[in-house]
Each structure stands twice: as structure tokens, then as C-alpha cells.
Amino acid sequence: MSERKDGAPEIDVNYVAGLARLHLTVEEADQFQKQLGDILAFVDTLSGLEVEGVEPTAHPAPVLDVLREDEAREGLSREQFLRNAPDRAMDQVRVPKVVDS
């Protein structure tokens, strides 16, 4: 692994693509090389941060249980339900046939 001008590590995208058996065009390789370099430079910046005494977290903000209690409630009446059905027959919802005989 070599280093870029700014001191960030540089990984050869063509080498990694070969390991993954990916075929990249020259344009793709150039684009990915720059993107990977930018990512590594950002990670290097993060590595320099002082985090002593900071509790590890999985989320930047507290995650609260936002689900309501599961409780039984009165449902729709048959008439209310059938009122929304696009096609009905004999007090039932009619659906298209999906199995050929």
C-alpha cells in the first residue's frame, strides 16, 4: 500500500478488482480510485479524533421503543368491509382467478 500526497494510504483499485474478479474500464478504475482515496482520507481523519471516555453507541441519538401496545380492537363490520371491495358476490370479496385448470 502506498501513500497519497496528503499522507493518506492508497489502495490499488485494479488490484482489488482483480481479486474480486471484476472487470473495470479505465474510467471506472479512475473514478473508484479517487472515491476510495477520499474514503480512506476521511477514515484517517476520524482516527485522529480524541474519543477517550466517550461511551460506544450504535446510534447517535437514543432509540426509543415507539410501538404502541398490542391490544384487540373492534374491526370493520361486513358491510363496511364490502363497501370498499371492487367486486363482490354473495357477501364475499370476488378476486380474479389465479390458477388455470
Q: Where are the domains of the chain?
A: 2-47
Long-range contacts from 30-35, C-beta under 8 angstroms, 24+ separation: none
At residue 71, does pLDDT exceed 60? yes
- 20 band by pLDDT with thresholds 50, 70 and 90: very high
First to last CA, the chain: 64
- 68 band by pLDDT with thresholds 50, 70 and 90: confident
pLDDT at 10: 73
Amino acid identity of 98? Answer: V
- 74 band by pLDDT with thresholds 50, 70 and 90: very high
Q: Are strands 92-93 and 88-89 parallel, antiparallel or unpaired?
A: antiparallel
Please state which architecture CATH assigns to domain 2-47: Orthogonal Bundle (1.10)
Q: How far apart are CA 44 and CA 60, in angstroms?
A: 20
